[in-house]
Amino acid sequence: MNGISEYFKTPLKVALSGGAGAGDATSVIKGGGNDITKQAGQVNKAGAKQEEVMQKQKEQARLNQLQQKIQQTIDQSELFKQYKNQLKLEMTPEGLKIQIVDEQNRPMFDSGSSRMLPHTRVLLQQLAPELNQLPNRISISGHTDAKPFGGGQGGYSNWELSADRANTARRELVAGGLTENKILRVVGLASANPLIKSDVFSPENRRITIVVLNKDTESSILNDGFKPQMNQDVIGGPSEGAARPRRSRASPERMKRLRHPLLQLSACACAWVFVAPALHLLPWAALQGLFAGLFAILLRLPSWQRIAHGLFVPAAALASQAGIAPGWYLAALLLTLALGRNALVERVPLYRSAALVAERLAERLAGDASLLEAGCGDGRLALQLSQRRPDLRMRALENAVGSWLLARWRWLRAGKPSQLAFACRNFWNEDWGGMTRSTCSCRRNPCPGSGASSSPRPAREPAHQQHFSRARRRAG
């Protein structure tokens, strides 16, 4: 307020003591005009650096205070005392690191699962209000030991497991009161960063790491790992020599998408060495299928992808010899789009066991909840869940017309249950603002066409295949 009042007093000061004229000018020659060597917009470089240092010191003091408060809570709370050995606090260059580690006889999750045990859920929910005290954003990472995951060759590994556990921790923190938009990053690191480096199989390597980020680390994450370059001399534009982040020409995700066509092309070339396709199409196609299946095995692709690669060219060659009219291919494509548009276009994952998912959801959802199933397919899950839990109010959305018609047919055969409604529209445009709980039903093996990526996109959940449903409490 003093600054504002001083600003409006300036005209009176100028009238009494003289303004910015000949006697008050910044001139090289006495009595001359303004100094032409001075550029508008300059700031005091030393002052700006000093201000930045002060801001960092204040932020560090707040983080230290939060560390002391959490440590005090651990020491005094009866709940935290029994888990004291599993909670580790550490100040790092990234910010305040809070680690919850496994013990030999007290794990955080079910073995080989992202299902969190009750005591870990309570710990995270009790920790959430403490993390809400600072405006700093938060990073959550999941870690495993180096023991290979026992899921076989279905594509689910410690990477997916650690990512799922990190997301489970995120959900429990939000359930405990943490503001959701404070979470900046959720990652799974598998066994890449062991806590006990001398023993990568130690139970303590299985942990959840929560980092209350300082501003420098937050800016680095938001700028794809590059710290933004600021010109300290001139306000309003970047410096001429400021370094700009260079984008990688071939991202891992792009290479992962290219490996399938490259695999097929390589198999075609290998088969061509032995058999000329122009002379012997079917033998060449059979040999190409053998090479493609072998390459898929060497790349450790999921079993269904190995089969698909092995049969792709042989099936196409057989179809070309069968004399099928082109219109049938078009009809097959349209039928595929009608029944599986979500998997092909919207990249929504599929799942095998609707009965298992319905059983898990029926156990987890409260009696006064309403459910929105995003991508209901042919309606099997929604119908089985409504039979298990007739007290739930359910809406099921599907934007593939063929699948929606199948769902409606199943709904009619089930006697038109009034608590369940099907609609045909794009669920990504649905208003989920009133939903307060997200339930993810996961399975280990991906399905064809699921289009899931190895790294999570900002608006969608994590690395492997999931089915999304949203639940909310009834008002009152």
For residues 229 and 245, give the distance between their C-alpha atoms in angstroms, rounded to a whole number: 10
Residue 71 is assigned to a structural domain of this protein: yes
Same domain, 172 and 273: no
Check: CB of residue 107 under 8 Å from CB of residue 165.
Answer: no
pLDDT bucket at 270, cuts 50 / 70 / 90: very high
**Between 145 and 436, whose confidence is greater?**
145
Query: What pTM does this model have?
Result: 0.41
Residue 73's domain is classified under what CATH number?
A: 3.30.1330.60
Q: Does one domain contain both 190 and 274?
A: no
**Upper half-sphere CA count for residue 290 (Cβ side, 13 Å):** 9
Whole-number pLDDT of residue 266: 92
Q: Which two tokens stand for residue 94?
A: 């990234």
Q: Is residue 114 part of a domain?
A: yes
Same domain, 105 and 178: yes
73: left (phi over 0), alpha (psi -120 to 50) or beta: alpha
In a domain, 228, yes or no: no
User: HEC string of 56-108?
Assistant: HHHHHHHHHHHHHHHHHHHHHCHHHHCCHHHEEEEEECCEEEEEEECECCECC
Q: Is 471 inside a domain boundary?
A: no
Indicate whether 73 and 181 sit together in one domain.
yes
pLDDT, mean of residues 289-302: 90
Residue 365 φ then ψ, to 5°: -80, 140
* CA separation for the pair 382, 395 (Å, rounded): 8
pLDDT at 276 over 60: yes
Confidence of residue 448 (pLDDT cuts 50, 70, 90): very low
| Cα angle, residue 60 at apex, residues 58 and 65 outer, rounded to 5° | 95
Query: Which residue range is the domain that position 123 belongs to?
Result: 57-213
CATH of the domain at 401: 3.40.50.150
Looking at the structure, tell me whether residues 143 and 284 fall in a common domain: no
Best CA proximity match to 172, nearest among 125, 114, 133, 211: 125
Same domain assignment for residues 64 and 122: yes
Q: How does the average pLDDT of the chain come out, rounded?
A: 73
pLDDT greater than 90 at residue 430: no
Residue 159 has pLDDT above 80, yes or no: yes
How would residue 166 be classed by pLDDT, with cut points 50, 70 and 90? very high
At residue 435, the pLDDT reads 61
Residues 202 and 279 in one domain: no
- Shared domain for 391 and 298, answered yes or no, is no
* Same domain, residue pair 396 and 291: no
- Pairing relationship of beta strands 95-101 and 138-143 according to DSSP bridges: unpaired
Which comes out higher in pLDDT, residue 24 or 421?
Answer: 421
Give me the amino acid identity at 236: G
Q: Which of 198, 213, 228 is the last residue of a domain?
A: 213
The answer to whether 304 touches 447, Cβ cutoff 8 Å, is yes
Domain count within the chain: 3
Beta-carbon count within 10 A of 114 CB: 21
Instruction: Answer yes or no: is 112 within a domain.
Output: yes
Which residues are within 8 A (CB) of 266 and not within 5 positions of it... i.e. 6 or more apart?
A: 291, 295
Q: Which residues contact 12 (CB under 8 A, 6 or more apart)?
A: none
Max mean pLDDT among 271-285, 286-300, 345-359 falls in 286-300
Q: What is the pLDDT of residue 34?
A: 54
| High-pLDDT (> 70) share of the chain, % | 66
- If asked whether residues 152 and 71 sit together in one domain, one would say yes
| Cβ atoms 127, 70 nearer than 8 A | yes
Q: How sure is the predictor about 23, in pLDDT bands with cuts at 50, 70 and 90?
A: very low
Residue 415, domain member (yes or no): yes
On whether both 64 and 202 belong to a single domain, the answer is: yes
Q: 188 and 271: one domain?
A: no
Confirm whether 22 is domain-assigned.
no
Q: What is the DSSP letter of 41?
A: T
Residues 6 or more apart whose CB falls under 8 angstroms from that of 183 comprise: 137, 138, 139, 140, 170, 173, 174
Note whether residue 476 is domain-resident: no
